[in-house]
Structure 1
Amino acid sequence: MEEEIHASSLLQRRDSLPRGTMSGGVTGALLYAVFSAVLGMLQFGFNTGVINSPKEFIQNFIIANYEVDADTLFSVIVSIFAVGGIIGCPLASWIADKKGRKFALIINAAFGVVGAVLMGFSESATSVAMLIIGRFLIGINCGFATTASPTYVSEVAPVRLRGAFGTVNQLAVAFGLVGGQILGIDVIMGSDEGWPWLLGLAIIPSAVQCIMLPFVPESPRYLMFVQQDEEQTRTVLKKLRGTDDIEDEIKDMRDEEIAEKQEQKFTIGDLLRIKSLRTPLVIGIVMHLSQQLGGINAVLYYSATIFTSAGLSEYDARLASIGVGSMLFIMALVSIPLMDRLGRRTLQLCGLGGMAVFSVLMTVAFFTYENNYTMSIFAVIFTLLYVAFFGVGPSSIPWMILSEMFGQGARSAAVSVGALVNWFANFIVGLTFIYMSNALGNFVFLPYTVLLILFFIFTYLKLPETKNRTIDEVTALFKK
């Protein structure tokens, strides 16, 4: 999920930190630019969480108009979102490099508007094809956003504030997720009449972006490195920083450009062929798989179904689902200071271990809820704690770990592989969960438990700690 967020940044240059003292701070122009960009991440969170509550009503629409299996078609509607994401990630990288970060964000907002319109009018047109195509286009929009938005934000923010502004992407995802779940309750839009409006609300973030983005500046790094326009770079930096004292930043960008030109470039094929690159790539891929195949999106996409299976009423299940998004939002705040205090490896192990424990306890609760409302409540509590441990580490660490294990020359290729693996695993979970639930019943989370244990063991044996280590120090570990 989130973050997608950290590794999607095309120029996350920890090994090229500025040597000068950065001037300027938070300005109105900077806040405007960041807010305009992170609306794409809010869109990602909204469309991840919004499909959860209206499941029953969408299936009613399918049953009333089509002679097909409603579970199968709903699984396609859910999972086609991830197919769009798989396409959106590399498309964003290509357009952002060829035409600029600002242009990429504007094009992506248009995808969002079209996708939302198709979903919003699918019921009145009696067309499930419109719903599927709209969900697919929104998936492209969200996959695109997980690359383009963090890239733009990291490049317009002052280096000393880049980490803080980077977390805004993660918070926007969590906020969108909670918003989608709240709007999906019965008294708002959780009904046979309201669900098309609920899905159509995705037009708002993209439409606002279409209005705001034409007035944001282009990324200074794109202007400097790609356009080779230092004069325009200076103009943009002065506007964003609110000061004319930008010489240190210009000098550091020049030095960074020289270092990048001297850095050997590696392709995806090189990553697979060269052992010192293949080992960290495998570690990064497993980290991304652990994020998705640990079952988190089964909870995000189907928590209302899970809570109903645990004995709650449809209404209470939708209310409880709001707690899932709220827990992710809280843990996004909690994990920020822990990341550099406890380290990536420790948090990843704690997260995977906690998820494994609470997936077992969720299974126990599913077996004992009948005629026992207390165990139904515990099923909700265990699910929320499962989500909380996901938020401790696995929600964000897979996205940042690849950028911390590769030098500049190999980073872009490694990050692209990780993003594609993540979205593909997301697709598999979204497509298969209903079938797994029907086949395994109360044991539905045990396959995820087994995978979480295997991921924990792999992480313990293979993942190095990258906290307080330079890129050179980390890459040296894999050359031994």
Structure 2
Amino acid sequence: MPVDKATAFLQEIPDENTTELLTNRGPPRNNMSSGRTTGALLYAVSAAVLGMLQFGFNTGVINAPRAFIENFIRENNQASPTLLFSVIVSIFAVGGMIGCPLASWIADKRGRKFALTTNAAFGVIGAAFMGFSKIASSVEMLIIGRFLIGINCGFATTASPTYVSEVAPVRLRGAFGTVNQLAVALGLVGGQILGIDVILGSDDGWPWLLGLAIIPSAIQCFMLPFAPESPRYLLLVERHEEKARDVLVHIRGTGEVDDEINDMHAEDRAEKQEQKFTIGDLFKIQALRSPLIIGVVMHLSQQLGGINAVLYYSSTIFESAGLAPADARLASIGVGSILFIMALVSIPLMDRLGRRTLQLVGLGGMVVSSVLMTVAFFTYKDNFTMSVFAVLFTLLYVAFFGVGPSSIPWMILSELFGQGARSAAVSVGALVNWFANFIVGLTFIPMNDWLGNLVFIPYTVLLILFFTFTYFKLPETKNRTIEEVTSIFKK
């Protein structure tokens, strides 16, 4: 790293106007459209967040049919059913690791709308592979389908929030941003409900269950051609101001969009004045490396705390706690429901209590809950009350996850970095998150076979370490500008 580049970063202090633009302090001046919600805007956001619903659905749907899928593997393959089921679960995250950077590249080259439409068509293909795998007696088709749908979901976790943030008015950007998390939770609950015995949780029903992933993508394929392109992309990338203006008039429901156009131009000028940094720079410059480590640890705490062990294998966990298989699948619905409720609860708390406080409360609560879960797992035999408590403690663990660790890792990197380094930092965080997701999905079943009732102890130890790191290292970003936050790491 040339010395002058690092020095330039440390000496870089944006003027008052630039800082105002980079941190979005307050609404645009005299912009009467900045707080309006129109039918066209809701349509565009709905079309985009179907990709996030797809992500939630495919995270939760694999849980209930484990026994039936393992029977299918046993009938069509000589390999270990348990091992192959772990591969089927975890290959989803491998696809996600590919989908994230692919989304950024296509969205910047061809536009947000094109990226979302292409990804929707790709999702149809992945769902078809999974849905027809049993008819074809092909375990390979099931693995390929989960891999393809993983690419689709990883793509969506990058492309959908980007599009939503760029079409939403500034005053409503935070509120519309939470729609993504709500869509994930709704998809998760939907997948778990459809997986119960009386619906599609059966030997004949599981291919239909997995194949239903075709519906969100198919609806997107129909809706997106009628949705507008991102006005920010049209103005700042394609340089078509009239097209951007027409889109803003359409989705804002008013012709008074001059201030919003001017704000985007000013943001563009401010961004050009700021030094650009690559992923390599994040590791070489101390003032960038420190917030990157914090952000990466936040992402690791989300995954290595064991939440996806619950999301992917809650039926297995509840059966281990003494519930009958049918009851375990019913109890699993509570996992997604709790996440959906906590997504709603955390919205007003995020700006009231702050990111650091919620992250610490969430991690601390997960530590206590995982200890209580382990105790209940040891005492459930011939004790129905402790079986119930094991389920309740698991749901409490999920609830504390929803308090902060569910959403804060995804937003914290954007608040720790200025515009010049933000894109690179967010990309690193997303990649780490999906890789940790893959590790948990692949290792939980072998760990469960090896450790039995102690399976959550490793996650508990990691949660304690993450809590300690967060307490000493994570600064509070609530009510602080980007410049105020980045200055902490420049000192």
When normalised by structure 1's length, the TM-score is: 0.97
Partners of 1:20 and 1:196 lie apart in 2 by 54
Q: Which residue of 2 aligns with 1:217?
A: 228
Q: Is 1:22 the counterpart of 2:31 in the alignment?
A: yes
Q: Is 1:159 the counterpart of 2:167 in the alignment?
A: no
- Out of 144, 155, 158, the residue aligned to residue 147 of structure 1 is 158
- Out of 200, 209, 234, the residue aligned to residue 198 of structure 1 is 209
Partners of 1:198 and 1:394 lie apart in 2 by 29
User: 1:14: Cα distance to partner?
Assistant: 5.6
Q: Is 1:258 the counterpart of 2:266 in the alignment?
A: no
User: 1:15: Cα distance to partner?
Assistant: 1.6
Partners of 2:24 and 2:108 lie apart in 1 by 20
* Equivalent residues of 1:93, 1:147 under 8 A apart: yes
- RMSD, matched Cα: 0.8
Q: Which residue of 1 aligns with 2:88?
A: 77
Q: Is 1:418 the counterpart of 2:421 in the alignment?
A: no
Q: Which residue of 1 aligns with 2:15?
A: none
Q: Letter of the 2:31 partner, please give it.
A: M
User: 1:394: Cα distance to partner?
Assistant: 0.2
Once the two structures are superposed, the pairs formed by residues 75-154 of structure 1 within 5 Å of their partners are: 75-154=86-165
Residues 292, 111 of structure 1: alpha-carbon distance in 2 compared, 3 angstrom cutoff: same
Q: Which residue of 1 aligns with 2:420?
A: 409
Q: Is 1:457 the counterpart of 2:465 in the alignment?
A: no
Q: Which residue of 1 aligns with 2:488?
A: 477
User: 1:311: Cα distance to partner?
Assistant: 0.2
Q: Is 1:331 the counterpart of 2:342 in the alignment?
A: yes
Q: Which residue of 1 aligns with 2:322?
A: 311
Q: Letter of the 1:470 partner, please give it.
A: T
Partners of 1:81 and 1:421 lie apart in 2 by 15
Partners of 2:407 and 2:457 lie apart in 1 by 24
Partners of 1:133 and 1:23 lie apart in 2 by 49
Once the two structures are superposed, what CA deviation does each residue of 1:151-197 show, in whole Å capped at 9, x if it has no partner?
00000011001111111111000000000000000000000000000
* Equivalent residues of 1:22, 1:159 under 8 A apart: no
Any idea what SS the aligned residue of 2:239 has?
coil
- Out of 351, 359, 366, the residue aligned to residue 355 of structure 1 is 366
Q: Letter of the 1:333 partner, please give it.
A: L
* Equivalent residues of 1:16, 1:256 under 8 A apart: no
Runs of 4+, deviation exceeding 3 Å: 16-19
Partners of 1:181 and 1:200 lie apart in 2 by 14
* Equivalent residues of 2:22, 2:267 under 8 A apart: no
The gaps in structure 2 that reach 5 residues or longer are 1-20
* Equivalent residues of 1:22, 1:160 under 8 A apart: no
Q: Letter of the 2:32 partner, please give it.
A: S
Q: Which residue of 1 aligns with 2:18?
A: none
Q: Is 1:184 the counterpart of 2:184 in the alignment?
A: no
User: 1:232: Cα distance to partner?
Assistant: 0.6
Q: Which residue of 1 aligns with 2:44?
A: 33
Once the two structures are superposed, the pairs formed by residues 37-48 of structure 1 within 5 Å of their partners are: 37-48=48-59
Q: Letter of the 1:336 partner, please give it.
A: I
Partners of 1:262 and 1:218 lie apart in 2 by 26
Partners of 1:104 and 1:226 lie apart in 2 by 15
Aligned-pair identity in percent equals 79
- Out of 451, 459, 468, the residue aligned to residue 440 of structure 1 is 451
The gaps in structure 1 that reach 5 residues or longer are 1-12
Q: How many residues align?
A: 468
User: 1:131: Cα distance to partner?
Assistant: 0.3
Any idea what SS the aligned residue of 1:478 has?
helix
Any idea what SS the aligned residue of 1:335 has?
helix
Once the two structures are superposed, the pairs formed by residues 201-280 of structure 1 within 5 Å of their partners are: 201-280=212-291
* Equivalent residues of 1:22, 1:158 under 8 A apart: no
Once the two structures are superposed, the pairs formed by residues 269-308 of structure 1 within 5 Å of their partners are: 269-308=280-319
When normalised by structure 2's length, the TM-score is: 0.95
User: 1:341: Cα distance to partner?
Assistant: 0.5
Partners of 1:356 and 1:316 lie apart in 2 by 26
Once the two structures are superposed, what CA deviation does each residue of 1:77-110 show, in whole Å capped at 9, x if it has no partner?
0000000000000000000000000000001001
